[in-house]
């Protein structure tokens, strides 16, 4: 595995240490020259993957939307829109140096607005994943959230962070910062939550995702991004032959509503054992109740603390055709692996292909689902005076 050029710095989280997977932080060099020979030889003509900026220039809820393009010196590019703080495109070289868009998405704001799947590429909040029956209690007071997933709350409610227009500030060629004020009572959550999310491309071909938030009232927070990946490229077909390794010895079994069911369980001897590289499709159709409950893989994996430069090494995914390798590193304690089980050819991506069943997957770094109702899980509580701060890296290289 290729060593990443990362510069460390420390930040203080104070009494919020329990709200993050790690108290250590590091700053990653952005927009520097890579030593990866595959990257150096890459065909950098990737502009055809970036949608027309005009397709993202409109007004939603009285705020203007736009498209922002980031680049590094290796030819890696990424496009974002402030509608939902979304990743629209992420272009990296494959094993032959051919530029490949590994994030599926749409070529207009309208495409995201009309999609039957609302989460493509979106920044997720105020609480990523599910909260049982949309209820939790803080400081003796019970809160009722909006219900949008059966009897439960998913990804922040009926209008989560993926459906709002963020304020955008492009800091430099390789960094975009989104900010949003989630007002007290929005979707039922307490407290005015000031959120800042910074996405940057680094010199070693990583996408760095930094999340920060403060509140004026005790609340719960679990921020992540919901990019849908196909490492062979958008429109390239099934992801079932991608190879996955997840650095987790345990996972959260779920009930039929995707709420954690009983204690955390060992992956050994189950279809959820990705401790060694295994294709996504190898066991996805096994006669297993958890696979039936999730309609495939749609579970939180409890990271086992395997470290890489101070971060939890969450997963390694390899595209079978492209040879593109994605390593995920995070301060978070969990990783939600979703195998595209509800993709149903109802939406048309930017390249003209349909979102066919299991042609993309998501890997969301996060705290555990329903943590506000499970005291044994790492806490997601944020109090006034504390700072929620966490980051994750999605690093791209190619097979040797």
Q: Where are the domains of the chain?
A: 6-398
pLDDT at 47: 64
Structure tokens at 340: 């595209």
pLDDT at 262: 83
Gyration radius of the chain's alpha carbons: 19
Catalytic residue among 210, 212, 332, 364: 364
At residue 16, the 3 state secondary structure works out as helix
In degrees and rounded to multiples of 5, residue 376 shows phi and psi of: -75, -15
Closest CA to 277 of 336, 325, 206: 325
Was domain 6-398 assigned CATH 3.30.70.360? no
Distance (Å, whole) CA 66 – CA 81: 6
Closest CA to 72 of 105, 99, 106: 99
pLDDT at 400: 86
The strand pairing partners of 145, in sequence order, are none
Is 77 designated active site? no
pLDDT at 362: 98
β-pairing, 24-28 vs 362-366, is: unpaired
pLDDT in tens, the chain (400 residues): 444 443 333 333 333 333 433 333 333 444 433 333 333 334 444 567 999 999 999 999 999 999 999 999 999 999 999 999 999 999 999 999 999 999 999 999 999 999 999 999 999 999 999 999 999 999 999 999 999 999 999 999 999 999 999 999 999 999 999 999 999 999 999 999 999 999 999 999 999 999 999 999 999 999 999 999 999 999 999 999 999 999 999 999 999 999 999 899 999 999 999 999 999 999 999 999 999 999 999 999 999 999 999 999 999 999 999 999 999 999 999 999 999 999 999 999 999 999 999 999 999 999 999 999 999 999 999 999 999 999 999 999 999 8
pLDDT at 7: 35
* Inter-CA distances, 199 with 21, 91, 123, 208, Å: 19, 14, 11, 6
Contacts of 32 (CB under 8 A, 6+ apart): 5, 72, 73, 202, 203, 204
pTM: 0.89
Is 73 designated active site? no
Catalytic residue among 77, 212, 226, 313: 226
Cα three-residue angle 206-211-212, rounded to 5 degrees: 150
């Amino acid at each position: 595995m290729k060593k990443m050029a990362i510069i460390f710095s420390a930040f203080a989280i104070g009494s919020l240490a329990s709200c993050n997977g790690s108290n250590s932080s590091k700053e990653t060099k952005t927009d520097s020259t890579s030593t990866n020979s595959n990257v150096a030889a890459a065909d950098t003509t990737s502009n055809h993957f970036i949608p027309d900026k005009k397709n993202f220039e409109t007004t939603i809820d009285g705020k203007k939307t736009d498209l922002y393009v980031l680049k590094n010196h290796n030819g890696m590019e990424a496009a974002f829109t402030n509608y939902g703080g979304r990743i629209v495109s992420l272009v990296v070289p494959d094993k032959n140096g051919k530029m490949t868009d590994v994030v599926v998405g749409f070529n207009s704001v309208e495409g995201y607005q009309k999609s039957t799947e609302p989460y493509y590429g979106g920044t997720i909040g105020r609480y990523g994943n599910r909260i049982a029956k949309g209820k939790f209690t803080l400081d003796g007071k019970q809160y009722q959230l909006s219900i949008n997933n059966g009897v439960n709350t998913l990804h922040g409610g009926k209008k989560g962070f993926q459906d709002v227009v963020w304020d955008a500030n492009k800091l430099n060629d390789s960094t975009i910062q989104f900010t949003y004020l989630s007002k007290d009572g929005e979707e039922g959550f307490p407290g005015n939550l000031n959120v800042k999310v910074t996405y940057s491309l680094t010199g070693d071909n990583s996408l760095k995702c930094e999340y920060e938030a403060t509140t004026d009232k005790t609340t719960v927070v679990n921020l992540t991004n919901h990019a849908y990946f196909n490492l062979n490229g958008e429109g390239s077909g099934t992801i079932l032959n991608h190879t996955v390794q997840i650095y987790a010895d345990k996972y959260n079994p779920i009930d039929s509503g995707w709420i954690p069911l009983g204690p955390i369980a060992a992956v050994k001897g189950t279809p959820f054992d990705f401790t060694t590289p295994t294709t996504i499709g190898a066991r996805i159709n096994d006669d297993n109740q958890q696979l039936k409950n999730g309609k495939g893989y749609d579970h939180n994996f409890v990271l086992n603390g395997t470290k890489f430069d101070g971060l939890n090494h969450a997963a390694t995914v390899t595209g079978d055709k492209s040879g593109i390798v994605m390593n995920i590193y995070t301060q978070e304690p969990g990783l939600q692996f979703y195998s595209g089980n509800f993709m149903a050819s109802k939406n048309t991506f930017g390249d003209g292909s349909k979102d066919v069943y299991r042609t993309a997957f998501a890997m969301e770094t996060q705290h555990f689902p329903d943590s506000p109702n499970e005291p044994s899980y790492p806490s997601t509580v944020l109090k006034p005076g504390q700072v929620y701060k966490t980051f994750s890296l999605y690093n791209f290289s190619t097979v040797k």
